[in-house]
Amino acid sequence: MENKNVNELDVIALARELGKKIQQEDVFIKYMLAKQNADNDPDLQKSLKEFGDKREELSDESGKPEDKKDPKRIQEISREMNRCYAAIMTNQSMMNYSEAKDNYDVLMNRVNAIIQKSFEGEDPATADYVPNCTGSCATCGGCG
């Protein structure tokens, strides 16, 4: 760490402390546990693999030349994908993970926004994340 002044080292040390505090937050702990449970849920993992396989199968069928495509097969694969998707989204591990991930994302967005806005000269005491998502990525300047 050559040519680092004391203030830079203090900021880095504080960032590391912040990292430790984040990992002690209930939101973080719940997210990590929910992620681990989802990763270890055999039914969920089977449904995710099946969905991925069907998505690849649909891509292969859709990518064929027009005269080789089988519209009925594309419809059948789409139905199978919808069935897999429903199984994924109604799986308790996935529902727990999704909720924990949403809460985790809110915390991460708030922390990132405070840091980013502080770098831009805003008052760290009042800087915060302001969600402004319209739901359309076409009108978006980026998340966070």
State pTM to two decimals: 0.76
The answer as to whether 31 is a domain residue is: yes
Find where tokens 């994302």 sit. Answer: 105
Task: State the angle between helix axes of 92-119 and 6-22 in degrees (0 to 180), rounded to the nearest 10.
Answer: 160
Residue 98 structural domain: 6-139
- Contact, 69 vs 62, CB < 8 A? yes
Q: Which residues contact 45 (CB under 8 A, 6 or more apart)?
A: 39
Q: How far apart are CA 133 and CA 141, in angstroms?
A: 10
Residue 9 has pLDDT above 80, yes or no: no
What tokens appear for 83 in the block?
A: 């069935």
* CATH code of the domain covering residue 28: 1.20.1500
- The string of pLDDT tens digits covering residues 17-50 is 999 999 999 999 999 999 999 999 999 999 999 9
C-alpha torsion 17→23→24→30, nearest 10: 170
What tokens appear for 32 in the block?
A: 């990590």
- Count: domains in the chain: 1
The answer as to whether 1 is a domain residue is: no
Residue 2 has pLDDT above 60, yes or no: no
The answer as to whether 144 is a domain residue is: no
Which string of b and e fits 35-56 if b means at least 16 CB within 10 Å? bebbeebeebeebbebbeebee
The answer as to whether 59 is a domain residue is: yes
For residue 144, name the pLDDT band (cuts at 50, 70, 90): very low
- The string of pLDDT tens digits covering residues 70-120 is 999 999 999 999 999 999 999 999 999 999 999 999 999 999 999 999 999
The answer as to whether 22 is a domain residue is: yes
**Single-letter residue type at 129:** Y
Q: How far apart are CA 58 and CA 31, in angstroms?
A: 32
Q: What is the DSSP letter of 135?
A: S
The answer as to whether 135 is a domain residue is: yes
Q: How far apart are CA 77 and CA 83, in angstroms?
A: 10
